[in-house]
Amino acid sequence: MTHRVPYAAWVLLLSALGPTWSLAASGEGLLAEAVQEYRAALDSQDRDQRLERFRRAELLFSRLAAGGYSGSAKPIRNADLYVNLGNAAMGAERLGPAILAYRRALSLDPNHHRAEQNLEHARTLLPDWVPRPERGGLLTTFFAWAERLSSTELQMLASLTFFLAVVLVACAIRWRQPTWRNLAVIPGIVWLLLLGVLLYRSVGRAADAAVVVVPEVVARSADSAGAPARLPQPLPSGTEVRVVETRDDWSRVRLFDGRDAWLPRSAVELVAP
């Protein structure tokens, strides 16, 4: 399957690939090579050559993100780098690694517009029957908005809403006005929702989120290669799941329609590196 990305998505995000990184000389050389391969792929007219160059760029960006350019280097946690990695994977027609890279970019920077835009486009390339994270609805909108705030900002906002609710209740008691008490319900509900977001983060946000990274994999009803297929079709690369349990070489995953299935552990990769 050919995966096409709008031209705007192919823009290399080089704003963060500068002095703020403090790369070793070998890392700077690796970055320059990745950028060169990426741009050469964009200019290539031959499909096979273009795929090969994008794949080469993907490997170089991946190596850079993993800190594999020197023996003592640490992994680079940078959202722009992961977006570039995802774009290179999309150019190489590797949908699973692309979605994984965009998810990792958003885990580092929930406000990254390019990562969000490209992830939404990549999801449209999956077959319609593949379960995917739902969007829309009041609660979904609220939690999506809350995810854009840091934990400190959420704590401050929760404190303010709690204080406002207490003040309104106190006014209702002092002046015996039920209207004030009714108004206190609104900040009270917001306070509870914010506490829910904070609690969700405290137990390990997205720690079990994963993406299928192989071209396709048969979902089994048990942790055995001989177990019956759980789904009528293999899961394609790019399917987003949550890992519920791991057992030897198998992972029990939960799809976004609520069904569970067993996949080889090598077929999925966690969003949290």
Which is more confidently placed, 246 or 76?
Answer: 246
What pLDDT is stored for residue 8 in this prediction? 39
Predicted confidence (pLDDT) at residue 152 exceeds the cutoff of 90:
no
User: 218 — phi, psi (to 5°)?
Assistant: -80, 125
At 247, list the tokens. 């057992």
- The amino acid at 35: V
Binned at pLDDT 50, 70 and 90, residue 268 comes out as: very high
Query: Mean pLDDT, to the nearest integer, of 126-139?
Result: 76
pLDDT for 235 beyond 90: yes
Closest CA to 82 of 94, 65, 60: 65
Highest mean pLDDT of the ranges 198-202, 235-239, 242-246 = 235-239
Average pLDDT over residues 173-186: 89
The model's pLDDT over 104-117, given as tens digits with 9 standing for 90+, comes to 999 888 889 999 99
Cα pseudo-dihedral 132, 233, 273, 208, rounded to 10 = 60
At 196 the pLDDT is 81
Burial level of 241, CB count in 10 A (0-12/13-18/19+)?
A: buried
Average pLDDT, the chain: 84
The yes-or-no verdict on residue 264 having pLDDT over 70 is yes
Residue with tokens 């399917």: 239
Q: What is the pLDDT of residue 6?
A: 44
Mean per-residue pLDDT for 152-172? 91
pLDDT at 5: 45
Q: Is the pLDDT of residue 203 over 80?
A: no
